[in-house]
Every structure is written in structure tokens, then in C-alpha cells.
Amino acid sequence: MDLNEINVFIKVAQAGSFTRAAKELGIPNSTASARVSALERRLGVTLLQRTTRKLRLTEEGEAYARQAAQGLEEIARAETEVSLAQREPLGTLKLTAPVGMGSESLTHLVSTFRRKYPRVSVEFLFTDRRVDLVAEGIDVAIRAGELEDSGLIARPIGMTQWVPFASPAYLKRAGTPKHPQELREHACLQFTPLGMDDWQLTDGRHTVTVPLSRQLVANEISFVKALALSGNGVALLPSHVCSSETAGGKLVRILPAWHSRIAPVHLVYSGRKFVAPKVRAFVDMAVAGLKRAFQE
């Protein structure tokens, strides 16, 4: 299929003249005639009946001109929309992040982004599975931990640190531990991915293994956090998801010199040549917004 041939034929059909169509297209009259003839040969049908005085569309030519014109209009509309999408953020932005990453900072970021770019819809997938961005059509991933060499673009936004928290009510009732080994005597709320049998805490010089009694175990971090807020015990939680609770006095970071897992956090997106404005706009906003959250 040669779109040039089709376009010339439609112009000739609309103008009723090779001369007028050629002038409008800015091509020689002979070129316009040759392209229409080539189209007829390819289709194996006569589209135009030519006389020395005028042109007349055949029945097949009228049907082809009508449908082909609609097709070219759709192509032109598609090109306009794609071109516009390369200048203005619009469409659907698909994001993914680990379970438990849905912090207040991320909520604020998405809300701010939607207010600034109302023509962009946002879909969020929270999963601890390593998502294949290209295969699953994901635009941007927030990833904690070391990255694989995947050919994707990675923008660092900070570190996530898992530290022990408890509510003031629990600490008033059970006492505040001064050393990690004292956690043996406390109700420890276990988030399954951090271990079923023990916690490992370090102060940068020493590492201590704390056996756990499996009194309360869950694989959903928001549930573990809710248990801690309700005074059920001590929980290891990412510091960035507890910032508002610690600021409001609802949770207290205990053993402040000690922490468990520390992992780098990156924004990851496709390294293709042309990055869609919706992706670029979100990444630029997220790098600034989330850096503050992960560096606090």
C-alpha cells in the first residue's frame, strides 16, 4: 500500500482535475497522473474515466474515494494526537511500587500530579513481584533494593530504612527497651518478608539477632502498622511510612541507634528514545517530592 498514491487519488477526485490536484499538492501534473495509474494497476480496477475535457469517478472509484478519505482522516487524526501527546502530558500513566510503599508522601505526590495534569489518568499496581515494565506496559516503577542491569533508566531518590516502632500506650504498659536483646521480652509484630524466626538489627558496628516468638505474623505491612498503632507490640517498619505518625506522637521510634534493612530506592522507567511527556512530568515531580520523604 502506497499512501502517496491514495492521497493523490483523493485529491484528484475532490478537485475533479489532475491539474488542480497537482497544484494543490505541489507536484507535477504528470506525477499525479502516474500515481493514480499506479494505484489502479495495483487494485486492478478503473477508478477514474478520463476524457480530454473532464474526469469522472467510476462506481468503484466513488466507493474507494469515500472510504479511503475516511481512512486518511483517521490517520491524520492519529498523527495529531500522537504529536500532541509528545508535547502535553495526557493519557494513562501506569505505575508500580512494592506493597507498603503507599505512604502519605506518595499519596500527596499523586494528588499533586493529578491536579497539575488533569488529562492524565493514573493506574497504580502495588506488588512485591518484580514487574517487567515493557512486557506489562508499566510506565514507571518505584523500586527498593539493588537494581538489576536491565537497560532501564534509574533515578535515585533515597534510602528506605526499617526501624523498630511502638505506640506510647504499649511502651507505657510494657516498658521501653534499651538494647535489641530486650525485645525478646516484648510482643514483636512480624512482617513476614523480614523473617519468621528472628530480626537482625545493627548499629553500624555490631549486629544482633533477636529471636521471635511468632505471636503476631502478617504479610501485609499496613496491617502490621495498624497493630503497632493499636498498642499490640513492637514492629519493624520503613521509617518513611511512619513519618506522620511519629510527628503526631502516635508511634515512637525505639532503639534509635539501631536499624534493620537499608535499601536504595529508585524511580525506574523505560530507556526508549522518546520518553512520553506524562512519564517525564511524573518522574521530574517524583524525584523532587520523594527525595524529601526518603531522606528524612
Domain boundaries, the chain: 3-85, 91-158+265-295, 160-262
Of 130 and 112, the one with more pLDDT = 112
- Torsion-angle region of residue 227: left (phi > 0), alpha (psi -120 to 50) or beta? alpha
Residues in the chain: 296
To which residue does cell 479511503 refer? 68
Are 201 and 215 spatial neighbours (Cβ–Cβ below 8 Å)?
A: no
Q: Average per-residue pLDDT in the chain?
A: 84
For 285, counting Cβ atoms within 10 Å of its Cβ (0-12 exposed, 13-18 middle, 19+ buried), the class is middle
To which residue does cell 517487567 refer? 132
91-158+265-295: CATH class: alpha beta
CA distance 131 to 109: 22
Helical H segments across the chain, by residue range: 3-15, 18-25, 29-43, 59-85, 104-116, 133-136, 168-174, 221-229, 243-247, 277-295
- Topology of domain 160-262, per CATH? D-Maltodextrin-Binding Protein; domain 2 (3.40.190)
Please give the pLDDT value at position 222.
84
pTM of the predicted structure, to 2 decimals: 0.59
Residue 203, classed as helix, strand or coil, is coil
pLDDT in tens, 48-100: 887 666 778 888 878 878 887 777 777 767 765 666 555 778 889 999 988 76
How far is residue 34 from each of residues 28, 38, 53, 264, measured CA to CA in Å? 10, 6, 19, 63
What dotted CATH number matches 3-85? 1.10.10.10
How far is residue 255 from each of residues 179, 191, 212, 258, 296, measured CA to CA in Å? 7, 18, 17, 6, 17
Q: Do domains 3-85 and 91-158+265-295 have the same CATH topology?
A: no
Please give the pLDDT value at position 149.
62
The DSSP letter of residue 270 is: -
Beta bridge partners of 130: none
How far is residue 158 from each of residues 87, 131, 143, 162, 281, measured CA to CA in Å? 30, 21, 11, 14, 19
How far is residue 274 from each of residues 86, 151, 262, 270, measured CA to CA in Å? 9, 15, 34, 9
Are 270 and 134 spatial neighbours (Cβ–Cβ below 8 Å)?
A: yes
User: Which of 73-82, 171-180, 195-204, 252-261 shows the lowest mean pLDDT across its residues?
Assistant: 73-82
Residue 291, classed as helix, strand or coil, is helix
CA distance 66 to 2: 17
Please give the pLDDT value at position 171.
95
